[in-house]
Amino acid sequence: MNIVIIGAGYVGLVTGACLADVGNRVTCVDHDPAKLDALQRGQVPFYEPDLDAVIVRNVAAERLSFAASLEPAMRHADIAFIAVGTPATEDGSADLSHVLAASAELGRAVERDTVIVVKSTVPVGTCERVQRTIDAELRMRGVPWRATVASNPEFLKEGSAVDDFQRPDRIIVGTDDPQAQRLLAALYAPYNRNRDRLIVTDVRSAEFTKYASNVMLATRISLMNELARLAEKVGVDIEAVRHGTGADPRIGHHFLYAGVGYGGSCLPKDVRALARLAAEHDQSTPLLDSVQAINDAQKRLLSAKIREHLHGRLEGATVALWGLAFKPNTDDIREAPSLVLIDELLRAGATIRAYDPVAAERVRQAVPDARLQLCRNARAACEGADVLAVVTEWREFKSPDFRWLAQTLAQRAVFDGRNLYDPQYVEDCGLRYYGIGRGRRETALAPA
Ligand SMILES: NC(=O)C1=CN([C@@H]2O[C@H](COP(=O)(O)OP(=O)(O)OC[C@H]3O[C@@H](n4cnc5c(N)ncnc54)[C@H](O)[C@@H]3O)[C@@H](O)[C@H]2O)C=CC1
Ligand SMILES: O=C(O)[C@H]1O[C@H](OP(=O)(O)OP(=O)(O)OC[C@H]2O[C@@H](n3ccc(=O)[nH]c3=O)[C@H](O)[C@@H]2O)[C@H](O)[C@@H](O)[C@@H]1O
């Protein structure tokens, strides 16, 4: 098929590259000249494992190309995907300006009957707005073409985006139009050989399913983080609880990790946007509000623990920080917990020696403060530091030399924001260990 993708970001680029990889001809259109320039020179503008290889081989095979405008690709397009950003506005609602601008551009560029697929995460009713926007342009042009708008939310995760796209748990297609259903079923057939992954529903349900999925994930994390706080107080290790609860197949082991709060470009904004949608319909959202409040507090937990260990003396202290990206295997720092920790430490007068395998440069641009020193590797970050905080669970942080750390860190403490380490082993090596919800019998407080 001939495919046009509007928006060459995480979702658009992965979608375009993967669809080209199974034989489609794909044009990715983006307004950002720097991004286009990089792509045209064969460079992927962000870090995503395996993506560059898929892009390079499909560009070489002339199945994948990049363009600044929809012309002339729309002349041959069977399907056009809208994969532009939907960031949060000030009041938390999804900013649809990019989606609606792309819709108007599509209305001006459609040159044949085309299925328009909204892949961006959008509130219920947006696809209908997209349809109206495109139809108005088509009417103004007086052309006979039909654009059928369908919803097809994306569920990939950054850091494993290519694999997630190629092996989806489910493919949600929202449309009542039988022709669009058939076309999208054919497009996704390579990922649905057993015919069990495609869920066809109405447009509004598809739009809602995306938010429901993300807020469920966020809720699980906040619940685990709340349990972790209590676990610490009553002498319970949340890691043991995670194993025990996850063994129930109704609960499952995935997404049960207590930590420093969820970040990224999606969970935080989507929880906010759904709460906002509810408010617009006069519905309160006590659960979603708590999910967000717990997450905000969780992002501040590590700095409070560090402050306590240093007896309140953060001023003049030096904190080594491992991990800046909001999760491993990405350089994305949008709403990253590391940024909250950095902000709190800098405001308290501390110096930070930070290391991240790929996200350092982005943090340098976001936080141009000389007291944030970006280091060339994990060990260098610890030299001259008082304590170590681990915020992102990159593989290379999983098994450090704790005895060396005990000799190097002046205040001999590790703050494990991802519960990577065995507390007893760390302490046997001569360090004080602080995790998230790693209560032990001796740390339990007697009830008041
Ligand atoms: N990042 C992720 O892991 C996931 C994101 N989503 C959703 O997918 C959507 C896109 O997210 P990302 O890919 O992260 O966004 P992004 O911000 O990485 O990329 C969006 C791209 O669209 C381009 N753009 C905006 N308006 C345009 C226009 N009119 N014409 C051409 N290009 C235009 C921008 O220049 C940018 O390169 C959002 O709604 C997001 O919530 C869904 C699943 C996963
Ligand atoms: O809509 C989106 O954009 C995407 O949002 C999330 O994907 P992503 O944000 O890339 O990453 P996740 O793996 O979900 O992690 C989000 C945050 O939650 C944190 N997390 C995750 C899992 C866990 O058990 N505990 C935990 O604190 C991570 O560290 C990270 O900060 C969803 O997992 C994807 O399905 C969805 O498509």
Ligand 2 and 330: CB distance under 6 A = no
CA of 284 to the centre of ligand 1 (A): 29
Q: Say yes or no: 193 and 226 in one domain.
A: no
Q: Say yes or no: 24 and 66 in one domain.
A: yes
pLDDT digits (tens, 9 = 90+) for 148-162: 999 999 999 999 999
- Domain-embedded: residue 434: no
C-alpha–C-alpha distance, residues 323 and 424, integer Å = 23
Q: Say yes or no: 153 and 178 in one domain.
A: yes
- Domain-embedded: residue 215: yes
pLDDT at 440: 79
Name the token pair of 271: 């929880």
Residue 35: partners with Cβ closer than 8 Å, 6 or more residues away: 8, 45
- Domain-embedded: residue 275: yes
* DSSP structure string for 313-349: --TT-EEEEE--SSSTT----TT-HHHHHHHHHHHTT
Return the residue matching tokens 């499909």: 58
Q: Say yes or no: 37 and 144 in one domain.
A: yes
- Domain-embedded: residue 259: yes
Catalytic annotation present for 266: yes
Domain boundary among 296, 319, 336: 296
- Domain-embedded: residue 146: yes
Nearest ligand 1 atom to the CA of 153 is 42
C-alpha–C-alpha distance, residues 32 and 34, integer Å = 6
Give Cα 213 distance to the centre of its chain.
13
Q: Say yes or no: 195 and 222 in one domain.
A: no
Q: Say yes or no: 215 and 183 in one domain.
A: no
pLDDT at 304: 97
List the chain residues with pLDDT less than 50.
448
Q: Which residues on neighbouring strands pair with residue 6, listed in sequence order?
A: 29, 82
Q: Which ligand is nearest to the CA of 121?
A: 1
Ligand 2 and 344: CB distance under 6 A = no
First to last CA, the chain: 68
- Of 265, 271, 331, 332, which is best to mutate to test ligand 1, by the most ligand atoms within 8 angstroms of its C-beta? 265
C-alpha–C-alpha distance, residues 125 and 277, integer Å = 11
Selected catalytic residue, list 28, 266, 375, 382: 266
377 DSSP 8-state letter = S
Q: Say yes or no: 215 and 197 in one domain.
A: no
Nearest ligand 2 atom to the CA of 264 is 9
pLDDT digits (tens, 9 = 90+) for 55-77: 999 999 999 999 999 999 999 99
pLDDT at 442: 59
- Domain-embedded: residue 30: yes
- Of 4, 5, 6, 10, which is best to mutate to test ligand 1, by the most ligand atoms within 8 angstroms of its C-beta? 10
Q: Say yes or no: 190 and 220 in one domain.
A: no
Q: Which residues line the pocket of ligand 1, CB cutoff 6 A?
A: 6-12, 29-32, 35, 83-86, 98, 101-102, 105, 120-121, 154, 156, 158, 265-266
CA of 289 to the centre of ligand 2 (A): 18
Q: Say yes or no: 192 and 229 in one domain.
A: no
pLDDT digits (tens, 9 = 90+) for 34-48: 999 999 988 999 999
- CATH for 259: 1.10.1040.10
CA of 75 to the centre of ligand 2 (A): 37
C-alpha–C-alpha distance, residues 445 and 448, integer Å = 8
**Which residue's CA is the closest to the ligand 2 atom numbered 20?**
262
Q: Say yes or no: 238 and 157 in one domain.
A: no
- CATH for 185: 3.40.50.720
Nearest ligand 2 atom to the CA of 155 is 37
**Which residue's CA is the closest to the ligand 1 atom numbered 11?**
85
ipTM: 0.99
Q: Say yes or no: 18 and 151 in one domain.
A: yes
CA of 119 to the centre of ligand 1 (A): 9
Q: Which ligand is nearest to the CA of 96?
A: 1
pLDDT at 170: 97
91-94 contacts: CB < 8 A, separation 24 or more? 91/276, 92/272, 92/273, 92/275, 92/276, 93/123, 93/272, 93/273, 93/276, 93/277, 93/280, 94/121, 94/122, 94/123, 94/126, 94/269, 94/273, 94/276
Structural domain harbouring 160: 2-201
- Domain-embedded: residue 82: yes
- Domain-embedded: residue 140: yes
Ligand 2 and 326: CB distance under 6 A = yes
Q: Say yes or no: 190 and 248 in one domain.
A: no
pLDDT at 447: 53
pLDDT at 436: 98
Please count the structural domains in the chain.
2
Domain boundary among 152, 167, 201: 201
Domain boundary among 280, 296, 312: 296
pLDDT digits (tens, 9 = 90+) for 83-111: 999 999 999 999 999 999 999 999 999 99
Taking the model in full, what pTM does it have?
Answer: 0.96
